[in-house]
Structure 1
Amino acid sequence: MQPKARPGFFPPLGRPGGLPHGGPNAREPSMSPPSAVAAMSSRQTLALAAMAAVAGLLVWPFSPVDSLVRAGCLTLLAIALWTTGWLPPWLTALAFFTLGMIGKVAPAGVVFAGFASSAVWLVFSGAVLGEAMRHTGLAQRLADRLAPALCPSYARAVAGTTLFSAAMLFVMPSAMGRAMLLLPILASLADRLGFAPGLRARHGLILGGLFGTYLPATTVLPANIPNNVLVGSMESVLGVVPSYGAYFLLHFPILGALRTVLLIGLLVLLYRDGSSRPARVAPAPREPASLPQRRLGWLLAVSVALWSSDAWHHIPAAWVGMAAALACLYPGSGLLPADAFGKLRFEAIFYVAGIVSLGAVADASGLGAALARQALDVLPLSPDAPGLAFALLAGLATVVGLGVTLPGVPPVVTPLVPDLARAVGWTPMAVAMTEVVGFSSVILPYQAPPLVVAIQSGYLPGRDVVRFCLLTSALTIFALWPLDYWWWRWLGVVG
C-alpha cells in the first residue's frame, strides 16, 4: 500500500512546499502561534538581505554598472538560492521574475519566457497523467507486473528499473514527460518490493529510474531538450546538422551505454544496506483491468505513439501531453476526481518556468556569450594538443551550463564554434559535438528540470539528488571523458 499523500498532483513526501532538503520522513508542521509562523530563520534572513542588495543595485538610478553586470547579479542570486535551498524554489523563481521586471533586466517576453516553454507544459501534463495513473490504479497494476522479475536481489531491482527507464527514451522524446510518467510507477514498484518511504534502498531504486531515463538521453538525438536545441542552433549558425545515426554512434557507446552500466553499479554500491533485500513478490493474479484503467491505458498508448512519431506529424511533445491531460481532466472521464484541478499545486511549474527564464535572460542579455568569449581568450587551445582541446571545449560547455542551465548551452556556445574550430584545427561539426559532452554532465539539479520535478513532487529528497548529480558528473568527467576522446579518435573525428 502506498503511504497516504496530501491531495494534489505534487504530493510532497518531504518538507512542506517540496523543499530540496526535505525527506520522506519529514514531519508536518504543527499548528503554531502567528508569531512562530512569522519568524524567519537565519538563512532566510540572509537570503532576504541578498535579494534586497540585488534589488537596490537594479533599481538605483545612479548605479554605475551596465546591463551585463545587472543580469549577472540577478542570475547569480537565483542560482545561489536554488543551490543552497535557503528559500523554497518556487519563491526564488517568483523573486527572479519580480526583480527582473522591476530592474528592467530584460523585456517581459524574455523574463517570462519560461511560461512559453514546452518544458512547463510538459510538467503540467506529466503531473496530470501521473496523478491519473495513481488515481485509476494503473501505476500499481504496472508495478505488480514488473515486481516479480526484480525481487531476487537489490542489484537486479536497480538494474531492471534503470534499464526499463532507459529503454523509454527510444519511444518517448521528452525527458520531462518520461520522468513524470515513470515516477509514480517507480514509487509503486518500490512499495511492491517492500521499500517503504525513507529507506535508502527506495531512494536508490527511484534514482536509478530517474537518472536512467535522463543521462543516456543526451546521446540520442530527439530524446532531450538540449539535443534538439543544439540541432536548431547548428542549423542556423553552421548550416549543417548531424544525422541520427552519426550522433548516436559518436555519443551513445560511452556516454550512453557505458555510463548506464556504471550508474547501476554506483547505485548498488551506495544504496544497498540491511534493508535493501526486496521482498519476495508472487505474481499478481490476472484480474481484468477496470474500465478507467483500460481508458487510461489506451490514452497513454496513443500518446506514446504520437510522441515517438513526432518527426512525421510535427506536433511537439508538450501539446500531445496537454491533449492527453485535457482528456484526463474532462468531466465524466473517470480518470481523475471531479475537483482535481482545484487541488493542483503550482510550485514545480513556477520553478521550471524560472529555470528556463534564467537561461533566456542570460542569453538575451549577452551574459552567456560574454562569459564564453572571455573563456575563449584565456583557454590554451591548439591543434597540437587535441586531448587538451577536447577537455577544454567540453569543460567550456559544462561551465556555461552552470550559468544558463543545460538547454541554454547551445544558443551560447554554438555561435562561437567557427572561431573555436579555427583555434583547434577541427571541423565545425566536431567542435559542436563537444557541447554534447559538456551538457551531458549534470553537476547540480537546477540545471535539468526533470530532476527538479522529482524533488518538488516529493519522490526523492533533494540531498540525495544533489549528491548523486555530483558523483555522476565527477565520474563522467574524470573517467568517461578520456574514454570518449579516444573513441572519437578511433572514429577519426579528431586527431
Structure 2
Amino acid sequence: MHAVSARRPRLPAIIAGLLLIASLSVRALPELGLHPGGLTAEAATAAALVVATLGLWATGLLPEAVTALGFFTIAMLTGLAPPEVVFSGLTSSAFWLIFSGLVIGVAVRQSGLGACIAGHLARRVGGTYRGALVGCLIFGLVMAFLMPSAMGRIVLILPVLAALGEHLGFTAGTRRHTGLMLAGVIGTFLPSFTILPANVPNNVMVGIIEAASGPVPTFSSYLVTNFPVLGLLKTVVLAGVLLALYGRDRVAMAGRPATPAPMTHAQRRLAGLLGLALCFWMTDALHHISPAWISMTVAVICLIPRSGFLPPRALQTLNMEPVFYAAGIIGLGALIVHAGLGGWLAGVLLDAAGLVPGEAIGNFARMSGLATAIAFATTLSGVPAVLTPLTSDLSAATGLSTAAILAAQVAGFSTVVLPYQAPPLMMAILIGPLPARDVARLCLITAAITILVLWPLQALWLRLIGVI
C-alpha cells in the first residue's frame, strides 16, 4: 500500500502540469489566429511565462527563489523585455527593504536583545493567561512597527515567544503555550499589511508602482488609509478570537517571572538605533526618505564589524531566498505592463468581477473579493503582481480613485483564508513549531469576520476620509 501511494502523483505536481498546459495554450492562441480580447503575440508569450511562474509559486513545486531566477532567465532568453524591466525588482526599494529587514532580524537575535525583550515582556503581560495572550498579540503588533520584514520578525519573535511561555510556566507543545506563540505570530503578521514597510505584499505593491513611475504612497498616508480598520480593529477581532479559542478558562500564572538581567551596552545601542529608525519611518511624509533607505542605514551600521551587533562575515549566514522572491514578483509585474498584458488582463478581470462604473462601494467590495480570490492561486505576494499594474485601467473602468483601487487590494491580500497563502505563516508552522490546524482555524475564522464586518467598515472609513 505504501509503494502504491509513493507512486501516486502529488497534487502540486498535477496542478503545475495543468498550469503548464494552460500557459502553452495561451501562447499558441495568436499562432492559431485567435486573439481573444485583442491578445497580441507578445502579450501571449508574456502571459504564458506569467501563468507558469505564478503556478510554480502557488504550488511550491520549486523553491520560490529558484522560480524567480528561472523567470529572470527565460524572460531574458526570449527577449520579452529589456534588462531594466526584467530586473526592475533588484533595483526597487522593496528588494532592499526586505534585505535590510533580514539583517536587522539577525542583529536583534545575535545581540540577545530578543531574549532580553522576552524577559521583560514576561513580567508585564499580567497575572493571568488571558492577559498574557492579549499581551503577546500587542507585542506582535508593536514589532510590526519596529521591523520592516514579516519573515524577519517571525524568525525573531518565535524564540522570544517560546521563552516567554516557559517563563510563565507553560510547557512547550501544550495548548496554552501554542496559544501564546500563535497570538504573537498572528499579531505581527495580519495587522502588518496596513503598515507600509512591514510585509512583502505591501512592498511589492509599492515597488511595482515605483517601477511604473507612479505616485508612491507614503508611510503616513498608507497608515491613515488602512490601519484604523484593517489594522487596529482587526487586532481587536484577533484578541476576541484568540480569547474564545484559548482563553476561556481563567488560568493563574505559576509565579512571577524572575527579573531579567540588565541590558548590555550593545543591546541598549541597538534598541536606540531601532527607536531612531522608527521615528524616521513614521515621519517620512516630512523628510521624504524612503523606508528602505532608513532600514538599509540601520542594516549597514549593524554589519560594520566593530559595531558589536553582528559577528564578522554575517552576510554569509543570511537566507537570501525571500529577497530574490520579492525581486521576481516585482519584475513579473513590470513585465505585465511592458508587454501590454495589463490592458488585456484588465478587460478579462473586469468582465469576471462584474465591476460597474459609478458603484463606489460595490466596486470596492468586488475588487477586494477579486484580490482575495487571486491570492488562492498566486499566494498573497502575487496579488499586487497581478492587480497593481492594472491600477489605471481599473480606476478608469470603475470610477474609483487610484488610492481606492490600492486600498481594495490591501483589503484583499490582508484577508488570509488559509496559511499556505502566506509564506511567513508556513515558516512559523515549520520552525515554531505551530500546529497547522490551529493556524488554519484562526485564519478561517478571522477571514470570515473580516469579510462580513471589517470590509464594510473599511468602505465607510474610506468614504469618511474622502478616498471613495
Q: Deviations over 1:285-312 (max 9, x none)?
A: 3533223323323332333333333333
What's the counterpart of residue 305 of structure 1? Answer: 279
Q: Aligned equivalents of 1:155 and 1:457: distance in 2?
A: 25
Secondary structure of the corresponding residue to residue 149 of structure 1: coil
- Offset, 1:159: 1.5
Q: Any residues of structure 2 matched to 1:316-355 within 5 Å, and which? A: 316-355=290-329
What's the counterpart of residue 87 of structure 2? Answer: 112
Q: Aligned equivalents of 2:447 and 2:264: distance in 1?
A: 43
RMSD: 4.7
What's the counterpart of residue 146 of structure 1? Answer: 121
- TM-score, normalised on structure 1? 0.70
Does residue 164 in structure 1 map to residue 142 in structure 2?
A: no
Aligned match of 1:96 in 71, 96, 105?
71
- Offset, 1:161: 1.9
Q: Aligned equivalents of 1:429 and 1:123: distance in 2?
A: 24
What's the counterpart of residue 390 of structure 2? Answer: 412
Change (3 A) 1:185 1:391: same
Q: Deviations over 1:436-489 (max 9, x none)?
A: 433433456687676577578767687876675555434322343244445667
Q: In 2, are the aligned partners of 1:171 and 1:307 still within 8 Å (CA)?
A: no
What's the counterpart of residue 84 of structure 1? Answer: 59
Secondary structure of the corresponding residue to residue 332 of structure 1: helix
Counterpart AA for 1:83: A
Could you tell which deviates more after superposition, 139-148 or 336-345? 336-345
Q: Aligned equivalents of 1:55 and 1:378: distance in 2?
A: 19
Q: Aligned equivalents of 1:319 and 1:167: distance in 2?
A: 21
Q: Aligned equivalents of 1:250 and 1:167: distance in 2?
A: 19
- TM-score, normalised on structure 2? 0.73
What's the counterpart of residue 123 of structure 1? Answer: 98
Q: In 2, are the aligned partners of 1:47 and 1:81 still within 8 Å (CA)?
A: no
What's the counterpart of residue 450 of structure 2? Answer: 476
Could you tell which deviates more after superposition, 84-93 or 382-391? 382-391
What's the counterpart of residue 38 of structure 2? Answer: none
- Offset, 1:144: 0.2
Q: Aligned equivalents of 1:121 and 1:239: distance in 2?
A: 19
Q: Deviations over 1:338-379 (max 9, x none)?
A: 343333333333333333333333343343442222232455
Counterpart AA for 2:349: A
- Offset, 1:146: 0.3
Does residue 255 in structure 1 map to residue 230 in structure 2?
A: yes
Aligned match of 1:296 in 270, 290, 303?
270
Q: Any residues of structure 2 matched to 1:76-475 within 5 Å, and which? A: 76-150=51-125, 152-168=127-143, 182=157, 185-193=160-168, 204-219=179-194, 251-270=226-245, 280=254, 282-285=256-259, 287-377=261-351, 379-382=353-356, 388-399=362-373, 405-408=382-385, 409-421=387-399, 433-443=407-417, 469=443, 471-475=445-449
Q: Aligned equivalents of 2:412 and 2:281: distance in 1?
A: 26
Q: In 2, are the aligned partners of 1:155 and 1:268 still within 8 Å (CA)?
A: yes
- Offset, 1:145: 0.2
Q: Deviations over 1:385-422 (max 9, x none)?
A: 6654442233344456665724443442244313311x
Q: In 2, are the aligned partners of 1:47 and 1:86 still within 8 Å (CA)?
A: no
Q: In 2, are the aligned partners of 1:127 and 1:180 still within 8 Å (CA)?
A: no
Q: Deviations over 1:60-114 (max 9, x none)?
A: 9x96692333333333333333333333333333333333333334333333333
Q: In 2, are the aligned partners of 1:219 and 1:252 still within 8 Å (CA)?
A: yes
Query: Aligned residue pairs: how many?
Result: 448
- Offset, 1:490: 7.5
Change (3 A) 1:312 1:304: same
Counterpart AA for 1:150: V
Counterpart AA for 1:104: G
Q: Deviations over 1:228-252 (max 9, x none)?
A: 8579969x9999989958x767654
Change (3 A) 1:113 1:466: farther
Could you tell which deviates more after superposition, 194-203 or 257-266? 194-203
Q: Aligned equivalents of 2:146 and 2:441: distance in 1?
A: 29
Q: In 1, are the aligned partners of 2:13 and 2:59 still within 8 Å (CA)?
A: no
- Offset, 1:117: 3.0
Q: Aligned equivalents of 2:285 and 2:424: distance in 1?
A: 23
Secondary structure of the corresponding residue to residue 372 of structure 1: helix
Q: Aligned equivalents of 2:261 and 2:382: distance in 1?
A: 46
What's the counterpart of residue 19 of structure 1? Answer: none
Q: Aligned equivalents of 1:322 and 1:231: distance in 2?
A: 16
Q: Aligned equivalents of 2:207 and 2:314: distance in 1?
A: 38
Q: Deviations over 1:171-217 (max 9, x none)?
A: 66776776666555445434544566655655544443344234334
- Offset, 1:261: 1.7
Secondary structure of the corresponding residue to residue 335 of structure 1: coil
**Which is bigger in relative contact order (C-alpha 8 A, separation at least 6)?**
1
What's the counterpart of residue 45 of structure 2? Answer: 70
Change (3 A) 1:178 1:344: closer
